[in-house]
Amino acid sequence: MNRVSVDTAGRPPSVDALARELAIRHSLPHAILVDCARRAIAENSVSNVQQQADQLATEFSQTLLRDVINATGVLLHTNLGRAPIEIHTSDRASNLELNMLTGERGSRQDTVGKLLALLCGAESAIVVNNNAAAVLLVVAALANSRDVAVSRGESVEIGGNFRIPEVTEQSGARLVDVGTTNRTRLRDYKKAIEKRGNDIALVLKVHPSNYRVSGFVEDTPMRELATLSVPVVADIGSGLIDNTCPWLDGRAPSWLANEPAARQTLSDGAALVMFSGDKLFGGPQSGIIAGRADLVDACAQHPLARALRPGSLTMLSLQSLALAYLRRTATSEIAFWKMATTSVFDLKTRAESIITESGVGEVCELESIPGAGSAPGATIASVGVVIAGDHLKKLRGHQVPIIARVKDAKTYFDLRTVRKQDDHLLVDALRDISG
C-alpha cells in the first residue's frame, strides 16, 4: 500500500492527497473519496488516518446495491429483493404512453393491463407501485368517507408495518370489524351491512400472509361472500395467478395447495383482486388490481393513481412475464419458477460436482421455503452443501457476495436458490475458505 506522507510537524495529509491515494485502490467517485478522507482526518490520529480512510471507502463500497448469490433457500427473500428478475432493455425510448396505432397519447396501463386481465380471467387490470398501494388505492377510490367491512381475523399487520386499520384510515374510509378473531361467518357480514344500511361500500378480504390462527377457527369463503349486497375485494397477497398452474403443464406443486389464486378468486365472485408482482408472480415490485372494469376504471381515475403509477422498467418487465405465462414458458423464462421447479436430482448432482471441484463440504438434504409471506408453512425439498463453521462474514466479502445461512455452527448453501451458472463461484468460495 502506498502511504501519503505526514509533514515534519506531525500534521495529517491534505484531504486531496489522501483522496487521490484512495483512488488507487477504490473505483469510487472522487467526491465520495474526499468525504471518506475528511471523516478519517477529523476522527483519527495522524498515525492511522490512512488506514481509517481506506476502511471507510471499503465500507461504503459494500453498502452499494449489487448482485449477490442467494444461497439461503428462501426463494423470495425480502432482504434480497424478493423475486429475482432479468431485464433486457436498450437505451432507446419506449412507447410507454404513445398509442402506436393512432400516434396520439395513450395510457401506460393499456397493454400490460390487458395481458394481466387475460391471465387473471378479469375484465380489466391496472398496475401500481406495490400491493400496499393497490389496497390503498382500491379502498380510497371505492369507499372514501364510507365504511369497509373486514373480518377481525384479517385486520392484521403484514411485513413493513403494513396495517389494515391504518391503510383504511389513510384512504379516508372507516373500518368496520366483523365477527371475531378466530371465527367470522357470512351472517356476521350480513349483520354489519344491515346495521349500517348504505354506509358499507365494500367488504375487504385480506390474505393474512404469515399470520395464522389455528384450532377453533372458521372463515367465510369467497363464494359465500359474493352473495352479499356490496362488492367484495380480495387482497390475495402473494400473486399466484392460477392454482392449476397451466404453465407447469397443469401440475400444481403441493406446496401451493392452500394459496389463493387470482383467477379462482375472481371466478368465485370477487369484484376485484389485489396482489404483489414480486412474489409468486415472479416479477418486479408492483401491485396489481384486476377485476370488474367499472371498479378498475374508478381506481385508475382516482388522483392517487398518478402518484402510485409505476415506471417504464416495471411495465416492460411485467409485459415480458405476462407473455411468458401466456406462452407457458414460465419455467424457462421466469427465475422464480426455474428455482421452484428444479428437481432434487439435479440439485444433488450439482452439489456433488461443487464438492468434487472444491474439495470441501458435504451433500445435505434441505428444505427451501417460498418466502415473503407466500404459502406460509410450506416447504420445498432441496439439496445443498454444508461445511463446518460460521463463514457468513467472509462470504459477504466476495466480489459477488454469497448470502448463506448458519445453523448449529455449520454454514449451509441451499442450491435451489443458486443459479447453476453461479456454481463456479461457490467452488471458488469454498476453496477460499479451506485455504
Structure confidence at residue 207 as a pLDDT band (50, 70, 90):
confident
Q: Of the candidates 193, 165, 199, which has an alpha carbon nearest to the alpha carbon of residue 179?
A: 193
Same domain, residue pair 423 and 312: no
Same domain, residue pair 130 and 212: yes
| Residue at 217 is within a domain | yes
Q: Please indicate whether residue 259 or residue 162 has the higher confidence score (pLDDT).
A: 259
| Residue at 280 is within a domain | yes
The three cell numbers of residue 226 are: 359474493
DSSP conformation letters of 130-145: SHHHHHHHHHHHHHTT
Give the mean model confidence (pLDDT) for residues 354-370. 97
CATH number, residue 368: 3.90.1150.180
Three-state SS letters, 367-406? EEECECCECCCCCEEEEEEEEECCCHHHHHCCCCCEECEE
pLDDT digits (tens, 9 = 90+) for 166-182: 888 888 889 999 988 78
User: For residue 2, is pLDDT > 70?
Assistant: no
Give the mean model confidence (pLDDT) for residues 220-242. 95
Q: Please indicate whether residue 362 or residue 214 has the higher confidence score (pLDDT).
A: 362
Same domain, residue pair 124 and 258: yes
Q: How far is CA 396 from the centre of its chain?
A: 21
| Residue at 97 is within a domain | no
Q: Which residue has the cell 481509517?
A: 52
Same domain, residue pair 323 and 404: no
Lowest-pLDDT range, 9-13, 70-74, 274-278?
A: 9-13
Q: Vertex 54, ends 48 and 58: CA angle to 5°?
A: 145
Structure confidence at residue 153 as a pLDDT band (50, 70, 90):
confident
Q: Of the candidates 316, 305, 289, 322, which has an alpha carbon nearest to the alpha carbon of residue 123?
A: 289
Domain that holds residue 309: 110-334
pLDDT of residue 400: 95
Structure confidence at residue 43 as a pLDDT band (50, 70, 90):
confident
Same domain, residue pair 143 and 167: yes
Same domain, residue pair 184 and 315: yes
User: For residue 420, is pLDDT > 50?
Assistant: yes
Q: At what angle do helices 131-143 and 293-301 cross, to 10 degrees?
A: 100
Distances in Å between the Cα of 59 and the Cα atoms of 25, 363, 401, 422 are: 13, 34, 14, 25
User: For residue 371, is pLDDT > 70?
Assistant: yes
Q: Which residue has the cell 403494513?
A: 162
Same domain, residue pair 268 and 354: no
User: For residue 24, is pLDDT > 70?
Assistant: yes
Quote the radius of gyration of the chain (alpha carbons, Å).
26
Same domain, residue pair 311 and 233: yes
Structure confidence at residue 1 as a pLDDT band (50, 70, 90):
very low
Lowest-pLDDT range, 30-44, 62-76, 194-208, 405-419?
A: 194-208
What type of residue is 416? R
What type of residue is 278? D
Q: How far apart are CA 106 and CA 416, in angstroms?
A: 42
Q: At what angle do helices 110-120 and 312-327 cross, to 10 degrees?
A: 40
Q: At what angle do helices 423-434 and 344-358 cross, to 10 degrees?
A: 40
Q: Cβ atoms within 10 A of the Cβ of 397, count?
A: 12
pLDDT of residue 8: 46
pLDDT of residue 39: 94
**Global pTM?**
0.92
Same domain, residue pair 129 and 278: yes
User: For residue 275, is pLDDT > 80?
Assistant: yes
Output the CA torsion sign for 77, 285, 201, 259.
Answer: negative
User: Tell me, what DSSP letter sits at residue 36?
Assistant: H
Lowest-pLDDT range, 21-30, 77-86, 151-160?
A: 151-160
Same domain, residue pair 47 and 155: no
Task: Count structural domains, the chain.
Answer: 3
Same domain, residue pair 329 and 393: no
The percentage of residues in the chain with a pLDDT greater than 90, rounded to a whole number, is 78
313 three-state secondary structure: helix
Same domain, residue pair 117 and 168: yes
| Residue at 29 is within a domain | yes
Last residue in a domain, options 334, 361, 381 = 334
| Residues 151 and 224 sit within 8 Å (Cβ to Cβ) | no
Chain mean pLDDT for the chain: 92
| Residue at 100 is within a domain | no
